[in-house]
Amino acid sequence: MSSEKTIVFITGANTGIGYQIARHLLSSHIPYHIFLGARSEDKSKTAIEKLLEGYPNTQSTLTPAIVDLESDESIEQAVKAVRSVTDKIDVLIHNAGVELDANGPTQGLTTREIFDKTYTTNITGPHILTTLLVPLLLKSSNPRLLFLTSGTASFELSTNPGFILNKSPAAGWPKPPQRELFSYKSSKVALNMIMRDWYRILKEDKVKVWTVNPGLVVTGLGGDPELLKKLGAGDPAGSGQFVVDVVEGKRDEDVGKTVQRQWLYGEILPF
């Protein structure tokens, strides 16, 4: 593999924000080699074909990366596959995640199963993958580690009574149905602390680490697109560009922090 290319591994890159990150990397003036992560080879290859159709003259290249964050074996195989073609990576972007609070019950999942699957995908899997890829990151001259978080993990936002997800139901039990995100929001709060620990652990190795809040956008993760639009969700393309801005050095003064694209109503909220 050409040493002139910046090597990027993106999880969950076959759809949504991850796909848009890959798309903006392909359109950059900087040449990249992108490991496009997905849960199956078909999903990764289909996304790659579509991306290359849109950018036939790109300087960058793509390789399928099969990784299921619920499986230690899958994570280990993905790292082995990366090692078979390169001895270093420059950027690791943890984009993949799940939100099962809304549709988990319709899949027959219990509350415990919803929490377990959310945490293993959003927290445990990324932590294990990071641990296994750190030796490759440390061989980069400019290593970067990004975890995609959510504005719903903001304690500041949680105090805003005007935000639709903060509506308090009437007194009494049981409460009337309304959209709650107990497992998803708490997993992203945990991810913010995972970032802080990796920032501390890798600080002397000069690894730049962030959590990145891409803003509320319409993707398959959030469920009903119309509901998301009512909440103010935008186009994931802008989120992809924002993440690439972080990759390309535009938020280097904010390492160890959560950096954010604008949140609802044009506000930038502290965490």
Other C-beta atoms lying within 10 Å of the C-beta of residue 171: 6
Tracing tokens 């913010």 back to the chain, one arrives at: 192
Could you tell me if 144 and 247 are in contact, meaning their C-beta atoms sit under 8 angstroms apart? yes
Catalytic residue, chosen from 43, 185, 188, 257, is 188
Question: Could you give the angle at the alpha carbon of 145 between the alpha carbons of 194 and 1, nearest 5°?
Answer: 145
Residues 271, 269: Cα–Cα separation, whole Å: 7
Tell me, yes or no, if 175 is annotated catalytic: no
Please state at what angle helix 16-27 crosses helix 236-247, rounded to 10 degrees.
Answer: 60
Tell me, yes or no, if 150 is annotated catalytic: yes
Rg of the chain on CA atoms, in Å: 18
Catalytic residue, chosen from 60, 88, 183, 184, is 184
Question: Which of 216, 109, 97 lies closest to 154 in space, CA to CA?
Answer: 216
Could you tell me if 230 and 115 are in contact, meaning their C-beta atoms sit under 8 angstroms apart? no
Residues 183, 250: Cα–Cα separation, whole Å: 32
Catalytic residue, chosen from 32, 44, 88, 150, is 150
For residue 18, what is the enclosing H or E element? helix 16-27
Tell me, yes or no, if 184 is annotated catalytic: yes
Q: Which residues are catalytic?
A: 150, 184, 188
